[in-house]
Every structure is written in structure tokens, then in C-alpha cells.
Chain A
Amino acid sequence: MGSTETKRCLVFILGTLGKPVPDDLSAPQQLVGVVGLEIHAQINSNTKLFSGSSVRFSAPPNSLVSFFDASLPGTLPVLNKRCVEAAVMTGLALSCTINRKSLFDRKHYFYADLPAGYQITQQRRPIAIDGVLTYSLLGGKKRSQVIRKTVNIKQIQLEQDSGKSLHDDLRSQTLIDLNRAGVGLMELVMEPDMSCGEEAAAAVRELQLILQALGTCQGNMSEGQLRVDANVSVHKPGEPLGVRSEVKNINSIRYLARAIDYEIQRQIDVLQRGGTVQNETRAYDSKSGETVPMRDKEGLQDYRFMPEPNLPPLIVYEDNASLPTGVEACQAVVVQKIREGLPELPSVKRDRLVQTYGILPEHSFTLVNEDGLVEYFEAVLKATKKEPRKVIGWVTNELMGHLKQQDMSVSQSPVSPSALAELLDLQETGHISSSVAKQVFQEMWRSAGKTAPQIIKEQDLGLVSDTAQLHSICQKVVDEHPDAVHAIRNGNKKVLNKLMGLVQKETKGRADPVLVRAILQEKTS
């Protein structure tokens, strides 16, 4: 699974770089995937979209339900200004056109967790349209090349979330929790501009970072704050799009990539076997890594859309000057004010990091894409004299390597930024070698709380700079490797590095490399 995924995306990436791979030459009419996304982002607000109930994850069932949320007869929706502002802000961050006037509609279907029998959404005229999301992939041979891509945002619409149904199969009961019913959602519709799981994953990750930077959505996929449905089809380039399936039930970015790539391959297999792809809804099963057909809602649904009669058109104003008389600035949604309040977006942050610290663009991706890593990196820099360009490797390789291995987040790191800074300073001032520094880092990771100097002292890892001791070790190495000495004397100076490595091996990396080099040069000259 993992290997096919990598291979297919690699094909794609190279393809875009104008270097067709052999596969493409032998089969120029190969089927390729086409991916569009529908993303439901829960608006980060204190109260629901149309009622005053609180929004909170994992509260006791049905404890956050107003009369309106339970669709008690006679209740009416009252639009939450904060939700509108969040949608406008998100629209601005994605370069959307903000509709000065948008409308609400009812979408009807019977489902136990939809108490009113309809969802209030924005079908005819959403709050924001025609945006674009720019995201990047790492490609090239060493996956160190930053490839910039864009996906068009068709629209962002405000709508209500539904409640949750809990099925008790044993007692054949369905229990309903309405805490989530009526929570504000932004539905973002992305055009089918992507072609594989990795692209979709990168786009969603970028969106997630943007939403988190804006504070309009917390973006936690496992808590359902960000829900991604993928529309997947395959076709031969240049031909009309194929029949698509919709893949649901994807609760992490990693699964998103896997689900899409599985689905593309499945559709290709179906077509190559002479079958046809069904227009259906499929669920991703993370255990098997497969997509499976979902029990269909009795064929095609007719949602019987109609205007929501209880909400007047939603009007937003460009600036304070365009407010009509009688409308106060504090009551109105003013686009200009929101635009001025936009925070630093991830792409700008990356550019700033590259410029400020002289790090590589791919490093800025690693820093920004990992929650809390920029803050960690900058905290280390504050506490160390080491140059940013030398620190970055420690953060992106050592720290991230350890975190990934144990599936931990930056905030869970047992090595604090100041502890790492202390270690790096010891190396910088020549107290330990770089290889020992890595050893010490591992030890700090294992026994949290121990400082670098403690570990160096306990394990006697300080640099050996006793000249007499180093002389005897070097002599031993020189004696045991006459061939190497011969080569050096014949002018192959590079072989000296081999001898240095052997000395470091003897000293477990503790020998002062400057001293060792001088001694070896002297002994082999």
C-alpha cells in the first residue's frame, strides 16, 4: 500500500517536472486520478450557528441543546455574527470573493439526528465564492524540492451541523445526541484540481494550518472539527471526467491520502477489467485500508431545497463608510475590519522563516507544518549561540525523528527547547563532539529531566583532549593500518578521514577532532 502510493505520486511529480517516466512512454493513455474535496470545518465559536447553546466537544449527551436545536415548534433561527465573521475571514484568507448578499436555504431529508427534517444551508448564494488554496509538495529525487500547486475553491457556505446517532445494534436502538446539532459549519467545496492522495493530503494540511492560524476552526480531524469527503474519479488525460465516487469516513490526513489512492487504484482496476465505476458513496475502512460501499440512502435523494423564510438575506458591508444609516458598525459584519485583522498565514510565515534564519524552504515546511515546531525552533535559538542553520537540522531531524518514531506531538517532547539549547552550546564550545551530542540527545530523550552536562559527566562523554592519551591511541591505529598510511604518504589525503573515524571509534566519539587530525597528520607525514 505504502509503496504503491509513493510510486504513483512520484510518477506524477516527475511528470509535472517534464520528465516522463518510462511507464508513461509505454502507455501514454494511462488512467489518472481526479480528486475534488468537500470539507466541513466546524466553526470555532462559543455558541451555535442559529442558537445560543454552547459548543463543546465531549460534553454529556444532550446537555448543549436549546429549544431551537431540538426543533421545538415555534422556534426560529437567529444568526450568530461570530460564525459569519469566521466564514468571511476564511474566505478572505483563501482569496475568495465575499458575496455582499448571501441567502439561506432549507435542505430536506429525514434522519434521526436532523430534528427539523431539514438543514439550513446556503445552496443558492453562499457567503464566499471563487477562491484558491495554494499548497506545496516536496518532490524531486530527494523529496527536497518544493513544488507549489493550487486548488480552486468553488465556494464556502455556512450551514448547520447535524446531531449524532449512536446505534445500539444489540438492543436494536438508536440513541440521539443533539449536542452537535446546529453547530456552525463552513462547507468548503474544492474543485477537482488534484490527482492523488498526497496532493489532497497536502492541500488539506495547508487548509488546516490556515484555519488554525485564523482561529476560525480548530481543525482537529479526529474530533470531527474538520471532516473531509473526497470525490474521486479516473480518466485519460484530455478526456471527459469519469464517473465519480464519494469517499467518506476519513478521520485523519494520513488516511485521506490512503483512501484516495486506494480508490483511484480500485477504479482503474475496475475499468481495466472492463467494468464500470458506480456513482456511489463509499466509506474508508482504516483497518483494512479499503473503501467499501455505504448502505445507500435509497437511491438518489431529492433534497427539495427551498429558501429559508425565517432568515432575511445575509448582508455584509465592505467598510464602515458603506454602512446604511441606522446600522451600527458593532452590529454589522464589515469585511474591511476583518481583512485588517487577518493574522500571518502559513505561507507568509514560511517565507519569513527562510529570510530571517537563512534556512532552506523545505525546512520551513517541516517547521510550519508541525504543530508547535516553529515555536520550539525559535525558543532553542533564543537560548543558544549556535547559528540557526546549524540548529535547524537538530530540530527537523533529531527532534522530529524521535517524535515521529513514537507518534508524539512537539508539545509532548521530553527534551525542552532550553535543554536542547544547552546541549547544542556544549557542542558549539567544543566540550563534546557532534556524534557525542547525538548520543547525549538520545539519552536525554530516554531519561527525561536529566540535563546534558549530567549525562556527559555520568557517562564520561566529555571530549578527550589529553594529548599523551590521544598520541598512544593514534599510534595504535597507525600501526594497525599500514596500507592506509602508505596511501596517505602517496598523496591520497582523504584516507586520513578513515583513520580519524577509527580513532573516534576507539574513543567512542569523544576525541577532540582538531587534535586528532593534527596528531594523525604528524604521524603519517
Chain B
Amino acid sequence: MLSLTIREVSLALREGRISPTELCRKCLNRIRKTQHLNAYITVTEELALKQAEEAETRLLQGAPKGPLDGIPFAVKDNFCTENIKTTCASRMLKDYTPPYNATVVQKLLDQGAVLMGKTNMDEFAMGSGSTDGAFGPVRNPWSYTAPYREQTGTAPDSDWVVTGGSSGGSAAAVASLTSYLALGSDTGGSTRNPGALCGVVALKPTYGLLSRHGLIPLVNSMDVPGIMTRSVSDAAIVLGILQGLDFRDSTTIPTPSSLTELPEDFDVKNIRIGIPKEYHAPGLSDETVAQWSRVADMFERAGARVEQVSLPHTQHSIVCYHVLCHAEVASNMARFDGLEYGHRSTVDSSTEAMYATTRHEGFNDVVRGRILSGNYFLLRQNYQHYVVKAQKVRRLIADDFKRVFGSGVDMLLTPTTLTDAACYSDFTQEDNRTRSAQEDIFTQPVNMAGLPAVTVPTALSRRGLPIGLQLIAPNLQDEKLLRVAQWIEQRVGFPSITDCGDSSESRNSTGMTKREQTSAL
């Protein structure tokens, strides 16, 4: 039951094969048993059961609110949730309880979806491994599957792989079957990257299609709420519910079409798939290249036109992304001064001293580093040289995509990440900045241009870990993007984690270890 898709479990609920409270209990139970993954920062057990009971009443009356009524979901801990702690995995907000719900959270609640908890992440979404949060790293559920363990031959505690990030907790929640859908945020790839590494479908919609109201920002001009599900058609259902104008977010745009269910059949004949040559980047694994070719060939065999295209400014994207990201981070983080909310240092010799120690104590090195460099870029004498230049390159990158799509290419097919997930011990050999530059290489140009993109899991690597491919569409072509993604999904035969001898549940019962105390607090 837990490994079903939303569409399947929704049907099961309507048919009375399971009740929302039973489903909720199963998920809560599963959360307990997979605690070692560290996917959740807060589990909202009481609230979840209450919501499930309400959903049950509606279902019994034959009046469900919609396809999500009674469906358990998880939310990344940078979306505000009313009266539920929202920490951004930071000491700065470790006890912060917002008085309101983010628009996207509210929309899910309004549909009767059942909130299981808030998921772990990199502090303030700054990272690509979900290893740099105040509550410790998130473990990839695939670390505990038979193929991976047989291949490594070691105990998972010593050799687990990262989820990717920064929405690693959300990806782990969906992959480990504790939630049917999860919200992530995607600024440079933070939803698609962990989606690919954890083997789930992860959608980054067109910028402006989903409201950012209540999403604690990383980079306002690139942040988009991301959707993680186990199937493309589930992602389409959720997108249909979440999209639309929100008067609280002035950057939202009207919905181009009201998304209904995706058709089962989609003919890719005559569509044009672009393969950007610049995405053959150094460090790209053979296995990922093989998957990329495999799917490209599938398209070709089905009658699609697959052609090489060029996005010449791609190589400059990551550097410019970092300049713009850090500049906005410096600005967005200015509000955390310990006065109105959040951590406040006990040092109070002067207001300035209080600010300084509050921010020193509250933020980790990554956040502080970005604030420092961001403020440097924004200085009067540097602004033209860094920020304006980066904005100009950003425009060139967006124009690259425009040109390719303008030439008749319908969609781009690329890898999502360079390789499958790295071991935690390997991943942490490099600093956050280096890792972000490597991990976001294929994902952040899309954010620079505001385009919709989705990652679809295609196969397991030799190590038994998921590999995903990314599809990129022109602005507001989210629906078409999902149709093509579903076409891939239907043909690649990506295995369910339950078919891979997932042992994450049995771990505690066999008494291997208790949950490792990784929390920084």
C-alpha cells in the first residue's frame, strides 16, 4: 500500500480498501522505522491523525475534496507552516513557529492532504547534499537496499550515500515511502538533484506558476516550489492543484491551462528533442551517458527527431549563478538579526554586538560565507563588475534556451546529475561550494532562465543507485513537459524500492544501531 502512487492510493481510499487513518498510521509507523534516514526535522503526528480523521469522515460521506484527500504528504522545512516549527535546518530558526501557512501548503491542506511533517535540508537550502543542516545529514534510502549493500558489502552505517540536496529530506520521504508527495524548493536544482539521486520524479515548474508566499527565500528571482512524487502523473495532479495566481506573490502569473489528468498515451512522433552538446561535461559518468543515449534512442525509434543543439553560454552559468545567489542571500538573510524572531544571542553590550553574535551563532559557515561574498558583490565599487555582469550573462543564458526552442526544438533532454549519489564520506571531502558547483551544473541554467524542468528516474547504476534524466521545456509548457516525461517513465521500467529488498525498515528491529546522533544541536 505504501509504495503506491497518489492515483492508486487515492482510488484505494475511495473504494474503502484502506481508510485515511490507517494509511496515516502506516506512514507514521514507517517514519519511526526509517528514523535513521533523518528525513524529517519535525513529525506532526497528532495533527496528521486529526487531519486523517477528518478526511475519513469526508470519504465515508462520499464527499472527498479531491484526489489528494487523505493522502499523506511532507513539506521541506523552509515552507512556513502555521503553528508548526519551520527551521530551515538552521540554529537561527530552530524554535521558530510561523503564524501562517505558505500558499502551496495551504492549497494542499485545503485539498484534505495530510501533513506528516517537515523535512530535513541543507541550512537555508544552501547546499547540494543535504549534509549541511543543523540537524545532521539525510541518508539516501537506497543505501539500505539489497543491490547497493550487496555491491558495497559493508554495513550501511559506515557507507551510506547522500540524498543530494538541498531538498534531501523531501526526496528521502517520498523514496522511503513515508509520504506520497513532498514539497521541495528549487533554486539551482535543489528539487531535481535529490529527486534524481533518490529515484523519484521531481518537477521544477515555470517560475511564477507556483506561489512563493511562505517559502523562506534563498534567491527570490530563481526560487520555485518543487514537487516530488513517485510518478509523473502524480506530479501533474499536484501541479494542477498548486499552480495559479496568488495575490500575495506579485511574481505569480496566470495559469496557461487548467491541468487535468495526463493522457496515458502520448505520441512523440514528430516532436523534436534537443541534446545540448555542452552538457557533455567533465565528470559525467559513463553510466549516466549510457542512460542519456538509451532514452535518446528510444525517442528516435519512436519517431521523434533527436538532434544536437548548442547552449553556448552554459559554461558561464554556474559562476554567474553563484554571484547572483550570494548577492540575494546577503540581502535576504539581513532580516535575521535576533530582534523580531529567531535566535538571539545573550550578548547585549550593544545592538551591534547583539546582531553580530546572533548571526555568528545562528548561521553555519556556508550561510555566513555566502553573506560575506554576497555583500562584497553588492558593494558600490563591485556591483557593476559582478552583479550587473552576472545579470547580463543570465540574460544570454536565457537567450540560448530561447533560440533553441525558437528553432523548433520542443524539449531538451539532459542528465540531471553527473553521477549517481556519492558516499557521505566521499561527499564531505570537498567543501559546500565545490560540491554545489559540481552538483548543480546541469540544473541551475534552468533556474537562470525560469524554465520548467523535470527529472525522471531511468535506471539503477551498477552500485544499485538511481540515475535520473532531466527534460527541459519552454516557459509555461509544464504540461507538455510532463507528457513527455511520462512517455519516458512508461518505457524505462525504473524499479520500485520495495522490489529492491529495501531493508531500511528492518534495521532498527534487528538492533544494528540506534539512530545516530548527528544533530548539531
Q: Which A residues fall within an 8 A CB radius of B?
A: 67, 70-79, 106, 108, 110, 112, 115-118, 174, 176, 302, 304-306, 309-312
Contact = CB atoms under 8 A, between A and B. Distances in A.
B334 A117 contact: yes
B250 A304 contact: no
Contact of A110 (B215, B219, B337): B337
Contacts, number: 99
Interface string B314-337: 000000000000011011011111
Contact of B331 (A112, A174, A306): A306
Contacts of B214: 74-75
Given A74-B215, A306-B383, 9 more contacts: A72-B98, A72-B100, A76-B248, A302-B379, A302-B380, A305-B378, A305-B383, A306-B327, A310-B251
Given A110-B355, A174-B351, A306-B331, A76 B378 contact: no
Contacts of A115: 335, 339-340
A74 B217 contact: yes
Contact of A116 (B212, B327, B334): B334
A71 B330 contact: no
Contacts of A302: 379-380
Nearest to A75: B213
B93 A73 contact: yes
A117 B220 contact: no
A449 to B, nearest CB: 54
A110 B359 CA distance: 12
B221 A309 contact: yes
B249 interface: yes
Contacts of B172: none
B250 A78 contact: yes
A116 to B, nearest CB: 5
B423 interface: no
B213 A304 contact: no
Nearest to B254: A326
Interface residues of B, number: 45
Nearest to B99: A67
Q: Which of B79, B88, B214, B339 has the most CB of A within 10 A?
A: B339
Nearest to B379: A302
A309 B222 CA distance: 9
Contacts of B88: 73
A67 B334 contact: no
Given A67-B99, A74-B102, A302-B380, A309 B213 contact: no
B387 interface: yes
A72 B336 CA distance: 9
Q: Which of A76, A305, A311 has the most CB of B within 10 A?
A: A76
Contacts of A77: 250
Contacts of A72: 80, 98-100, 340-341
A108 B213 contact: no
Given A74-B98, A74-B217, A108-B378, A117 B337 contact: yes
A110 B213 CA distance: 24
B80 A74 contact: yes
A73 B216 contact: yes
Contact of B247 (A67, A78, A176, A309): A78
Interface string B422-459: 00000000000000000000000000000000000000
A73 B249 CA distance: 14
Interface in B65-115: 79-80, 86, 88, 93, 96, 98-100, 102
